[in-house]
A and B are shown apart, each in its own frame.
Chain A
């Protein structure tokens, strides 16, 4: 069930009103049932996977608590890792690995007859797998106590607002909120409502509005350099507005239910370097990778070369997490590469002291703009449908760039063209005021104007062709 649909509005009303009238335990059972219904709405068959993954990690958690023997504990952890990652490997990567193996063997003249299975990707599998794993690893590391309440643990895994596209919540943040009675405040309610409005605006007005232009260029056999540049800028907007919209709506709905989910995006396009970017983009994934992969690999503790190696491994696997295709691996390699380059230079450089504040501001702005171009090239790798397309587009951009070529695709619809500057202005205002609650300091008529503008353009934007959230595919 997509948040941006009428079905979800009906679902939410049916869930929310009874929810408010229930006590804590009833709320948890009810939310769990609602979450399974929400997930089963796509394909009820995949509920068995989520149940299996929940059960394995629940029992491993309890087993880890009951024994202090290192070998046994390690064995239990391996069971959880193999089960969770095994499911992910089969359902997400099996076809990719087999196809890659066939391609590889064909390079040497072999004609292998390996089994090709067309397995449908269960929605949100990467998200809930990482979430359950974080619980088990934290229990193994004795950072949290396992819960004995199975249904509460199941709700932690399947909590519907963030089940299919994050944020990837840590047990230490979400599980206590499941276990204890929740208190809903007016602040939570109004902030939640605004997050939902903003999320729907970003998804429906902007992400869906620019999708057609982006898809057109990335399906063209010979676009011009200007086509590619503009479409890639639009894709940068699309993927940000799509994914951060999902997080906003998830956080908004969670707030209405009395939960606090982590912030997943914090103005990522205002970053001036890759390290800052990954502190602002998909924060729940980047911190997960940092805590459960990069640091266990050694992090930056064993010299520069090992640090670079660890960065590359982390980002390559982060790229592969996004999808079973080589362009995601390449994107991960690119992100790892720019992180290494940045780390290499940042270690040597002394801080630049500008002669004036104004000059400093412009240098900072310039860095932001330059780094945005670097991010956008990464998005080209991410959006491309094949290696050939990456090579073609890169060649065109490097050797055939001209501003006089004109564009071959149609511009986004009117609501989207109106919505983009509004969204950018809100982000700049948030960046300068350093708080996501900036609008709450505004006079009431101005707040009313903001809500009315967002709502009016949102309703106009509902005419854009609807599409699933991009990250559902991951």
Chain B
């Protein structure tokens, strides 16, 4: 490999010079692309609704960059989506019409904890004449969030039925205490405890930030912010300095693409720690897929649902677990939990047996949530369980 010969193609320049010229043109064109995108599709302020292309170009902005754009000094100057999901019972009830009793004397109050899937289920249930729904959740809420919301809500209502909604997609949130890094493209600041299974009990780790007020204070104080980042480094598996810190890369589309790609690969590595991805192709597929039996996520979740049911029963309420096997997960959530639920005699609804998410026809137009018809079917299943256990007055 000593010899390097000249180009065999005719050229008025030397090959090295030609290569340098082509590379210079390439860099120039890349700069022109940046300039054109900057002029044609300018980034929209985070508090304003942006179009699809604007969002596409913005996804790769750092977590810190996005969050600083979204959060202003007051609620009025803050993107409203960042105000939800906080586990602050007082704030949750204040100013909202959160029922504590059934709307009719002979009715039933059902308390639901979960994410958007659970909220949609609640909306359908609320249409029943004798049923009142009390919902507490957050965007993409993990089981940790729902479990804590349930615990904080104990004694604040008279619900006869408590529903714990779990989405397969949301299990990833169990490896962190915040929705900042796990949802890189749409980071949200709300927090919740992280749980570790220690023997037969759950150890709870709360971050220092628990309310929006806490978060604003931390965000605007350099020292507190550093402390909070250190906390994330220790307990948030999705945290990575390259995707978190705001820097010059936020200003160029090409670097934002690179960061987004890195974030996806990082998230995929984290997911691989508790979820087996299939390998192979078509009929050559050789490995099974699903949540890993021995992962901390699955072990903790099993204990969590048992604890939820035990506490609900001790409060005289009927516990129901609704398993949303979301798109891309087939029936894997059911596979991971069904045995534990049956052993503890906990009634549950399995979305997969009613509407497998593998079939896009079962999904809404966003290709993620279940269709309204299927939400109705889930609600019907819940009502069957309620009637079976004679909870209706």
Point out the residues of chain B lying under 8 angstroms from A444, CB to CB: 18, 21-22, 25
B149-186 interface code vs A (CB 8 A; 1 in, 0 out): 00000000000000000000000000000000000000
B107 within 8 A of A: no
B77 within 8 A of A: no
A428-468 interface code vs B (CB 8 A; 1 in, 0 out): 00000000010010001101110111011001101101101
Q: Are B30 and A185 in contact (CB under 8 A)?
A: no
A382 within 8 A of B: yes
Rounded to whole angstroms, the CA-CA distance of A244 and B59 in the bound complex is 31
Point out the residues of chain A lying under 8 angstroms from B284, CB to CB: 121, 323-325, 473-474
In chain B, residues 1-59, which have Cβ atoms closer than 8 Å to a Cβ of chain A?
1, 3-9, 15-16, 18-19, 21-30, 33, 53, 56, 59
Point out the residues of chain B lying under 8 angstroms from A183, CB to CB: 1, 3, 5
Q: Whole-angstrom distance from the CB of B363 to the nearest CB of chain A?
A: 9
Q: Are A465 and B6 in contact (CB under 8 A)?
A: no
**A220-B359 contact, Cβ under 8 Å, with A440-B9, A451-B26, A456-B33:** yes
Closest to B34 in A: A456
A421 within 8 A of B: no
Q: Which of A6, A218, A444, A465 counts the most B-chain CB atoms under 10 A from its CB?
A: A444
Q: Are B16 and A456 in contact (CB under 8 A)?
A: no
Closest to A409 in B: B360
Point out the residues of chain B lying under 8 angstroms from A20, CB to CB: 1
Q: Whole-angstrom distance from the CB of A192 to the nearest CB of chain B?
A: 12
Point out the residues of chain B lying under 8 angstroms from A325, CB to CB: 282-284
A384 within 8 A of B: yes
B67-95 interface code vs A (CB 8 A; 1 in, 0 out): 00000000000000000000000000000
Q: Are A445 and B25 in contact (CB under 8 A)?
A: yes
**A187-B8 contact, Cβ under 8 Å, with A456-B33, A462-B258:** yes
Q: Are A463 and B257 in contact (CB under 8 A)?
A: yes
In chain A, residues 29-60, which have Cβ atoms closer than 8 Å to a Cβ of chain B?
none
Size of the chain B interface, CB-CB below 8 angstroms? 49
Q: Are A186 and B6 in contact (CB under 8 A)?
A: yes
Rounded to whole angstroms, the CA-CA distance of A183 and B286 in the bound complex is 42
Rounded to whole angstroms, the CA-CA distance of A448 and B108 in the bound complex is 69
Q: Whole-angstrom distance from the CB of B342 to the nearest CB of chain A?
A: 26
Rounded to whole angstroms, the CA-CA distance of A328 and B25 in the bound complex is 47
Rounded to whole angstroms, the CA-CA distance of A120 and B284 in the bound complex is 11
Q: Are B261 and A463 in contact (CB under 8 A)?
A: yes
B361 within 8 A of A: yes
Q: Are B26 and A186 in contact (CB under 8 A)?
A: no
Rounded to whole angstroms, the CA-CA distance of A190 and B25 in the bound complex is 15
B281 within 8 A of A: yes
- Interface residue tally of chain A, by bracket? 35 or more
Q: Are A463 and B283 in contact (CB under 8 A)?
A: no
Q: Whole-angstrom distance from the CB of B97 to the nearest CB of chain A?
A: 36
Q: Are A216 and B360 in contact (CB under 8 A)?
A: yes
Q: Are B282 and A383 in contact (CB under 8 A)?
A: yes
A385 within 8 A of B: yes
Q: Are B25 and A447 in contact (CB under 8 A)?
A: yes
In chain A, residues 209-229, which have Cβ atoms closer than 8 Å to a Cβ of chain B?
216, 218-222
Rounded to whole angstroms, the CA-CA distance of A182 and B30 in the bound complex is 35
With beta carbons under 8 angstroms apart, the residue of A22, A456, A462 that contacts B261 is A462
A284 within 8 A of B: no
Rounded to whole angstroms, the CA-CA distance of A452 and B285 in the bound complex is 37
A327 within 8 A of B: yes
B254 within 8 A of A: yes
Rounded to whole angstroms, the CA-CA distance of A449 and B21 in the bound complex is 12
Q: Are B257 and A473 in contact (CB under 8 A)?
A: no
Point out the residues of chain A lying under 8 angstroms from B1, CB to CB: 19-20, 22, 24, 27, 181-184, 258
Q: Which of A190, A323, A440, A463 counts the most B-chain CB atoms under 10 A from its CB?
A: A463
A395 within 8 A of B: no
Q: Whole-angstrom distance from the CB of B365 to the nearest CB of chain A?
A: 10
Point out the residues of chain B lying under 8 angstroms from A187, CB to CB: 7-9, 15
Q: Are B264 and A465 in contact (CB under 8 A)?
A: yes
Point out the residues of chain A lying under 8 angstroms from B18, CB to CB: 444
**A449-B361 contact, Cβ under 8 Å, with A185-B7, A187-B15:** no
Rounded to whole angstroms, the CA-CA distance of A409 and B361 in the bound complex is 8
Q: Are A455 and B30 in contact (CB under 8 A)?
A: yes
With beta carbons under 8 angstroms apart, the residue of B8, B33, B264, B280 that contacts A452 is B33
With beta carbons under 8 angstroms apart, the residue of B3, B24, B257 that contacts A459 is B257
Rounded to whole angstroms, the CA-CA distance of A383 and B9 in the bound complex is 42
A67 within 8 A of B: no
What 13 additional pairs, Cβ within 8 angstroms, besides A185-B4, A186-B16? A185-B8, A186-B19, A384-B282, A384-B283, A409-B360, A410-B360, A410-B367, A444-B25, A452-B33, A455-B26, A459-B261, A466-B265, A473-B285
* 21 pairs, CB–CB < 8 Å, chain A vs chain B: A183-B5, A185-B5, A185-B7, A186-B4, A187-B9, A219-B358, A325-B282, A382-B282, A385-B283, A410-B367, A444-B21, A444-B22, A448-B29, A452-B29, A455-B26, A456-B30, A459-B254, A463-B59, A465-B268, A466-B268, A473-B284
Q: Which A-B residue pairs are the 4 nearest by beta carbons? A: A448-B25, A452-B29, A462-B261, A325-B283
Seen from chain B, the residues whose Cβ lies within 8 Å of a Cβ on chain A are 1, 3-9, 15-16, 18-19, 21-30, 33, 53, 56, 59-60, 254, 257-258, 260-261, 264-265, 268, 279-286, 356, 358-361, 367
Seen from chain A, the residues whose Cβ lies within 8 Å of a Cβ on chain B are 6, 19-20, 22, 24, 27, 120-121, 181-187, 190, 216, 218-222, 258, 323-325, 327-328, 382-386, 408-410, 414, 437, 440, 444-445, 447-449, 451-453, 455-456, 459-460, 462-463, 465-466, 468, 470, 473-474
